[in-house]
Amino acid sequence: ITLFISICDMSHMTTSIANATSMFVDASMELTSHASIVALPQRKESKRLPEEGPMDSQTLDTLAALEAANEQMEVDNDDEAETQGQAQSETQPVQATETVSHSKRAKSLVWNHFVVVGVEADGKRRSRCIHCNKKLVSESASGTSSLKRHLEICPKKPPSSGDREYDPKVDRDMISEIIIFHDQPFKYVEYEKVRARDKYLNPKCQHISRQTAGADVYKRYEEEREKLKKELSEFKGRVSFTSDMWTASTTMTGYICLTAHYVDESFKLNNKILVFCELKPPHTGEEVANKLISCLKEWGLEKKVFSMTLDNATYNDSMQKILKHRLQMASGNGLLCDGKFFHVRCCAHILNLIVKEGLEIAVGLLENIRESVKFVKASGSRIEAFAACVQSAGIRSGAGLSLDVPTRWNSTYDMLARALKFRDAFTSLKECDRSYKSLPSEDEWDRGQKICEFLKPFSTITTFFSGVRYPTANAYFLQVWKIERLLMKYASCDDPVMKEMAKKMRVKFSKYWDEYSLVLAMGAVLDPRLKLQILRTAYDKVDPRNAEKKVEIVKKNLKKLYEEYGAKFQSSSSTSSATPTPYELLTESPLEDDLNY
């Protein structure tokens, strides 16, 4: 009987402890989630056990131990959050811990600099700054804002590891970077709200005028220019260039731009604008050549030129001949292979000319589609009415309608692709708006669909050619080959309109790309994924009779280019230094080892 009673007592005590522990954990979680409104002493009163009978002394002792452990854990967490990220002195934490004795634990970092004095004769609670001994009101209801403001201006507060002395020069350098990187006007530094924010962040901030900002930006430009000059002077390879010129439609002022492209010693592709300036008329080939040669000499690159990529403007044909002749006459390295690879025609521009040639036939066929887009975009009310038609037709809107422009052929493709998506919406618009008279017929929609499918590969290839963050020389050959194969396919199709478009485009293709660019074909050969085999396969599908002959021409020119590179580097290194350079170690050519490569 005694053993049975003991077991029952133990069972009752175990159940009571489990229930009490569960209730304590639930209450702690609830209090933690409402920590901002419930004070710590209230947590003890909120725990109530169910009426299961009287608890013995052992159960009460267990609950007391759990409460003490949980409170100690919270105190430790508060201490860790309060001390993290700051460098404290040996005396400050002790003073703050001993003096802050209010019921709600102080968590603000500001208490590392203040000690609580207590309630004074006027009934207000005050704290004293440990640096200047000034007393400030620190009522719990008003927070610590006044204490923080005092620390910002406290004359005796020593600088901590997190503080930084204001440097006007660093500030002005950062402002210059903001203007340059984010394309801000010089007047940005005079904006009222910008100045107010700067003053808030640092009361010592020294504001500058827009004239000073402009001078700082130009100074930064000169510094970066000198850095780039030094980098290019130490560069041992060759540099390829692109140049373009245009006239502003509003002022009729001519501008010219020269960009350098090179791969540095870290095998990183670099694109640097060397010149962007006004070009006085007349814009003849000789004048443009004079401007470019002066720019190259200014940068010290007249002996490091490999190629110059230009569009197909008439003046560029004469300009590149004059420029090539003058660079060849330059003493020293001159141009490789007598300038055979100097002139490179812009692939994206040629593609633009090819497609525009074909679109001249389709202008009349697309007139109603173009007029429909123009009708919708003419007023806000029509746009709203068309949006209602789109919604009623169950079409996901996505990108809206766009109108093409004469100077960009891919805008015609974008117009077609977007208008075709809203084909049913235009039909609904016809029923709602009697003033809409240019609804395309079913045949016109079908014709637009075929033209859109025909232009899609050209749009994709143009975007690929226009990439600036990745090399494109290795992609040229295959993309041009795809264009030729596409034109051959449509030139023999059954649709008379598409057939006529393809024939006209093939004539323009033959004018510029009858013989694929040798230097860009070499880019495909040097791609380890392609090599000479891809050229042989591609040429065979286009012209089987001359395929092997064309491959041999590429091999011969590639070998000649390699040998000339080797000869020039050996001669330059032998005169400059007797120490072997990495270029001197390249004595064997894979083309010499394997003539069947």
Digit-coded pLDDT (tens) for 349-390: 899 899 989 888 887 888 999 999 999 999 999 999 999 999
| Helical pair 476-491 and 442-465, crossing angle rounded to 10 deg | 160
Together in a domain, 432 and 499: yes
Separation between Cα atoms, residue 440 and residue 372, nearest integer Å: 8
Together in a domain, 438 and 496: yes
Together in a domain, 177 and 45: no
Together in a domain, 64 and 114: no
Residue 70 has pLDDT above 90, yes or no: no
| Averaged confidence pLDDT in the chain | 79
Residue 38 lies in a domain: yes
Q: How many domains does the chain have?
A: 5
Residue 275 lies in a domain: yes
Q: What is the pLDDT of residue 427?
A: 92
Closest CA to 479 of 463, 492, 493: 463
Q: What is the pLDDT of residue 195?
A: 95
Residue 573 lies in a domain: no
Residue 579 zone, left/alpha/beta (φ > 0; ψ -120 to 50; rest): beta
Together in a domain, 206 and 243: no
Contacting residues for 253 by C-beta, under 8 A, at least 6 apart = 247, 278
104-113, 238-247, 474-483: the lowest-pLDDT one: 104-113
Residue 96 lies in a domain: no
In 392-438, the DSSP E strands lie at: none
Among residues 459, 491, 514, the one where a domain terminates is: 514
Residue the block writes with tokens 């984010």:
182
Together in a domain, 363 and 498: yes
Together in a domain, 382 and 475: yes
Together in a domain, 340 and 388: no
Among residues 34, 52, 83, the one where a domain terminates is: 83
Residue 562 lies in a domain: no
Among residues 514, 539, 562, the one where a domain terminates is: 514
Q: How confident is the model at residue 92 (pLDDT cuts 50, 70, 90)?
A: very low
Together in a domain, 17 and 57: yes
Residue 574 lies in a domain: no
**Structural domain containing residue 214:** 168-219
Residue 267 zone, left/alpha/beta (φ > 0; ψ -120 to 50; rest): left
Residue 95 lies in a domain: no
Residue 102 has pLDDT above 60, yes or no: no
Together in a domain, 380 and 418: yes
Assign residue 269 the CATH number of its domain. 3.30.420.10
Of 183-187, 332-336, 536-540, the range with the highest mean pLDDT is 183-187
| Helical pair 409-421 and 442-465, crossing angle rounded to 10 deg | 130
Residue range 256-266: mean pLDDT, rounded: 92
Together in a domain, 304 and 362: no
Together in a domain, 434 and 454: yes
DSSP 34-85: TTTTS-HHHHHHH------S---HHHHHHHHHHHHHHHHHHHHHHHHHHHTT
Closest CA to 98 of 80, 111, 84, 82: 111
Residue 131 lies in a domain: yes
Residue 74 has pLDDT above 70, yes or no: no
